[in-house]
């Protein structure tokens, strides 16, 4: 009996210790953005389930990334998942992770090499950006038609962030769907944002609206909810409210939900919900399996999205388990 108990206890201890030894970094470029907070939350769920530790670090620029990697190494982490602040840091991040003997996986934004090509040796989980962009564009076209708007009078605020490939793919996918739906190319106004946050999008969209007084109505799209919310707020400020603005974002985290929960309709019509559960929980588990079982994650995993509006938000979120 005693032997049995001792045996069971030592078994427990061994497995417990193993998981307890595992430390995984989760580094994100914009810690204040709800999407990244959700990713962290899901990584924590994975950690709790398996018994490992997640070290969450916000790294808004290259210098912070390098410090974060050293920090992880000195805490004896075995690997980390990162959404980098700049994909061009690719070769530097890969080299430093090697020196510090840290396993490396990227999420959301895929690292590129000196030529701008994706670094395929680093396992990556991203969204199927072009497709999701197309869903955004299609949602806008459908809503324009539903409202019976004359497309010639409608301007499209296309909030771009060209230096980030996933952003480029999302906005080009949306553009493609708009054009296929009959939206006039000349009415699409390029609105580059300086950073991927609401304020930068607001500033860019505000200028686009002022410069194009001929449009009676607007639609807006961009790489995420923050970009579209910036455009929606700018339009509101210039008198374009829910009845003359159709904004469709990408994300579906708190920024979108807050908007849906407002008593009054706003120009933020919908968003394509993507899964922070897959991007946070699954990447953390992938890294854990890599560290503990030497199971390398798939080189490339692309996740899907689904259109979410005020009407279907509960059902769509339930479907995604978030």
Using CB under 6 A as the criterion, which residues of the chain lie in contact with ligand FCA when the complex forms?
Answer: 33, 35, 83, 108-109, 127, 166, 196, 223-224, 250-251, 274
Q: DSSP letters of 65-89?
A: HHHHHHHHHHTT--EEEEE-S-GGG
Nearer to ligand FCA, 83 or 229 (CB): 83
CA R_g for the chain: 22
Residue count (the chain): 322
Nearer to ligand FCA, 109 or 282 (CB): 109
| Rounded least distance, CB 164 to ligand FCA, Å | 7
Nearer to ligand FCA, 204 or 223 (CB): 223
Nearer to ligand FCA, 33 or 86 (CB): 33
Nearer to ligand FCA, 201 or 291 (CB): 201
Give the list of residues 6+ apart from residue 47 with CB closer than 8 angstroms, or none.
24, 53, 54, 284
CA 182 from centre of chain: 29
- Contact between residue 47 and residue 54 where contact means Cβ atoms under 8 Å apart: yes
- Contact between residue 71 and residue 41 where contact means Cβ atoms under 8 Å apart: no
| Rounded least distance, CB 223 to ligand FCA, Å | 6
| Rounded least distance, CB 76 to ligand FCA, Å | 28
Task: Report the candidate in 310, 300, 126 with the shortest Cα–Cα distance to residue 223.
Answer: 126
Coil, strand or helix at 259 = helix
| Rounded least distance, CB 87 to ligand FCA, Å | 10
Nearer to ligand FCA, 169 or 288 (CB): 169
| Rounded least distance, CB 161 to ligand FCA, Å | 8
| Rounded least distance, CB 22 to ligand FCA, Å | 25
Query: Which residues make beta-bridge pairs with 155?
Result: 218
Nearer to ligand FCA, 72 or 228 (CB): 228
Cβ burial 75-110 (10 Å sphere, 16+ → b, else e): eebbbbbbbbbbbbbbebbeebbeebebbbbbbbbb
In whole angstroms, what is the distance from residue 132 CA to residue 140 CA?
13
| Rounded least distance, CB 102 to ligand FCA, Å | 21
């Amino acid at each position: 009996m005693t032997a049995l108990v001792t045996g069971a206890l030592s078994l427990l201890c061994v497995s417990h210790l193993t998981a307890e030894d595992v430390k995984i970094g989760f580094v994100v470029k914009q810690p204040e953005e709800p999407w990244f907070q959700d990713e962290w939350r899901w990584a924590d769920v994975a950690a709790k389930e398996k018994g490992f530790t997640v070290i969450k670090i916000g790294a808004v620029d290259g210098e912070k990334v390098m410090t974060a990697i050293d920090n992880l190494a000195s805490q004896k982490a075995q690997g980390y998942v990162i959404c980098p602040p700049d994909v061009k840091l690719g070769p530097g991040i890969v080299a430093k992770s090697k020196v510090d003997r840290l396993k490396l996986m990227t999420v959301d934004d895929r690292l590129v090499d000196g030529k701008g090509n994706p670094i395929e040796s680093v396992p990556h989980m991203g969204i199927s950006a072009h497709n999701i962009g197309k869903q955004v564009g299609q949602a806008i076209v459908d809503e324009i038609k539903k409202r019976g708007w004359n497309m010639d009078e409608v301007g499209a605020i296309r909030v771009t962030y060209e230096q980030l490939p996933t952003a480029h793919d999302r906005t080009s996918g949306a553009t493609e769907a708009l054009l296929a739906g009959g939206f006039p190319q000349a009415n699409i106004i390029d609105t580059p944002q300086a950073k991927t946050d609401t304020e930068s999008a607001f500033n860019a969209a505000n200028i686009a609206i002022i410069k194009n007084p001929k449009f009676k109505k607007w639609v807006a799209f961009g790489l995420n909810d923050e970009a579209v919310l910036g455009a929606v707020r700018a339009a509101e400020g210039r008198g374009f409210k829910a009845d003359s603005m159709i904004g469709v974002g990408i994300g579906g985290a708190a920024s979108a939900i807050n908007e849906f929960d407002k008593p009054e309709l706003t120009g933020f019509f919908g968003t394509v919900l993507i899964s922070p559960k897959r991007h946070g929980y699954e990447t953390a588990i992938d890294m854990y399996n890599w560290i503990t079982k030497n199971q390398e994650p798939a080189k490339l995993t692309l996740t899907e999205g689904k259109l979410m509006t005020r009407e279907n938000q509960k059902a769509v979120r339930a479907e995604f388990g978030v």
